[in-house]
Amino acid sequence: MNSGLRATVVGRQVFTAAVRTQDREETWNRLCYPHGMSSLPNVPETGSLLAPPAPGTPLFRLVWNQERILLHRGRDEMCAFDLAGRPVSWVRHGVVHRRGLDGSVLELVRAPGREGWEQGVRRLAPEEQASQLGHVRVLLEEGWRLLGHPEPLRRAVELDPNQDAARFKSIWRPIMILPPDQYRSLVLQLTEGCSYNRCSFCTFYKERPYRVLSREEFTRHVEEALAFMGAGLSWRRGVFLADANAASLPDAHLLAALGWLHRRLEAPRPADPVFQPGHLSGFSSFLDTFSTLRRTLEVWRELAGLGLDSLHLGIETGSDRVLRVLRKPGSAAQAEELVGLLKAAGIRVGVIVMTGVGGPALAEEHVEKTAELLNRLPLDAGDRISLSEFEPDPRSPYVLEGMADLLDRRACREQSRDLRSRLRFRAHPQGPVVSHYDVRQFVY
């Protein structure tokens, strides 16, 4: 870090004097990107501002770096914005809210439950979202006034979050789910829906026919996505190719798409305010375990050479009997073979399993066979095992057809613990990350 470029400014007078002598946009760029754009991804340059204390007025503090802008009001309220000015999360009276680019808002509350502290998650209704955005607006306007109209807040003040969310929805189909380590990716929809779409437990794409975007459509989607993200792109790391199974496209199509995308994202773009070569390197995607069985190691290596960095496999279980309950094709043996191929090609692997599936009747077999399968996989540093507790969707065939009795959250949690205790990997960072994957907390 170049300490000479540290842009900490304290006090209204100092900051406004700086603004008067500079073009506003220039000042903003200098404060946020003091090393120039090219160093953006690696330089955590920060700045901060304090409102002059005044009797009866809560203390306002603004802190920013190259990824986020944080506005604090007293000790108990805080709102985070991305550099495009979008409110992304806020804390108020101990309750955390997270807002997606599509405008949806999650409420996260930790409360004592039967098993100690538990995370409550609620997706707010439209009128509740509007009310929350109203609180954010009040906080923002008060901070803007008391801090003397600081440039880092200008985009947030000028942004209409509802219009912004509408624009997002005109570029992306709803993003239904991402792997737990991909929430910060730039999602690009190379395909729509799922090429299989018949798993008994999954309703994500029931209303979305599978479709592969043409080259022209995908090119336009990428350009629109980059333009939409604007300065907010600085928060993103890597690219996630959606929807489900984009990596199962025919070899020639996938190679061509990744080749083009690799060149597009690596090319210097002086016209883009934030985007620089390497910022978004590393492609990721979901992949089923049954549709790429004929893809050779050479092709996987070629894809890795074009930037395919990690693939996320919903293997769900190591029991073939439970797989059949889930109506998911393939087998534990095929999953094992695929993971071996990906690792040999230098592609990192995220494995997702669901606890609770198969119900009480298959519970022991599910845990035993899944632990056996996972322990056979050549996973190491950089890989991930995600344990997801089954959230049955009442509209799914799994529930409607009564394919297995449902286990409650507590039983799923116990299965997760049991499964975890049977894993025999080296501890992270030498071994894979083993984490809880709470799909209720997903918002993009």
Chain residues binding ligand SF4 by CB under 6 A are 194, 196-197, 199, 202, 204-205, 244, 288, 314, 328
Q: Which is nearer to ligand SF4, 244 or 325 (CB)?
A: 244
Residue 396 tokens read as 């799914």
- The residues, ordered by sequence, that sit 6+ positions from 273 with a Cβ below 8 Å of its Cβ are 29, 37, 230, 231
DSSP string, 200-238: TT--TTTTS--EEPPHHHHHHHHHHHHHHHGGGGGG--S
**In Å, how far are 47, 141, 385, 404, 434 from 428, measured between CA atoms?**
34, 44, 11, 35, 8
CB of 125 to ligand SF4, least distance (A): 26
Q: Which is nearer to ligand SF4, 234 or 285 (CB)?
A: 285
Q: Which is nearer to ligand SF4, 149 or 208 (CB)?
A: 208
C-alpha gyration radius of the chain? 24
Q: Which is nearer to ligand SF4, 77 or 243 (CB)?
A: 243
Please, what's the b/e burial string for 41-73 (b: 16 or more CB within 10 A of its CB; e: otherwise)?
bebebbbbbbbeeeeeebebbbbbbbbbbbbbb
CB of 373 to ligand SF4, least distance (A): 17
Task: Reduce the secondary structure of 100-161 to three states and give it as a string.
Answer: CCCCCEEEEEEEEECCEEEEEEEECCHHHHHHHHHHHHHHHHHHHHHCCCCHHHHHHHHCCH
**In Å, how far are 134, 181, 326, 344 from 141, measured between CA atoms?**
11, 34, 51, 54
Question: What is the separation, in whole angstroms, between the first and last Cα of the chain?
Answer: 31
State how beta strands 239-242 and 433-436 pair.
unpaired
CB of 176 to ligand SF4, least distance (A): 8
CB of 62 to ligand SF4, least distance (A): 42
CB of 197 to ligand SF4, least distance (A): 5
CB of 344 to ligand SF4, least distance (A): 24
d(CA 61, CA 50): 5
CB of 219 to ligand SF4, least distance (A): 25
Percent helix, percent strand, percent coil in the chain, to nearest 5: 40, 20, 40
Q: Which is nearer to ligand SF4, 73 or 328 (CB)?
A: 328
d(CA 339, CA 324): 21
Give yes or no for a contact between 443 and 100, defined as CB atoms under 8 angstroms apart: yes
Give yes or no for a contact between 405 and 357, defined as CB atoms under 8 angstroms apart: no
Q: Which is nearer to ligand SF4, 205 or 235 (CB)?
A: 205
CB of 442 to ligand SF4, least distance (A): 14
d(CA 229, CA 24): 21
Q: Which is nearer to ligand SF4, 199 or 332 (CB)?
A: 199
d(CA 123, CA 49): 33
CB of 205 to ligand SF4, least distance (A): 6
Q: Which is nearer to ligand SF4, 129 or 285 (CB)?
A: 285
- Cβ neighbours of 327 (radius 10 Å): 16
Q: Which is nearer to ligand SF4, 33 or 205 (CB)?
A: 205
CB of 405 to ligand SF4, least distance (A): 21
Q: Which is nearer to ligand SF4, 288 or 383 (CB)?
A: 288
Q: Which is nearer to ligand SF4, 205 or 442 (CB)?
A: 205
CB of 88 to ligand SF4, least distance (A): 27
Q: What is the DSSP letter of 273?
A: S
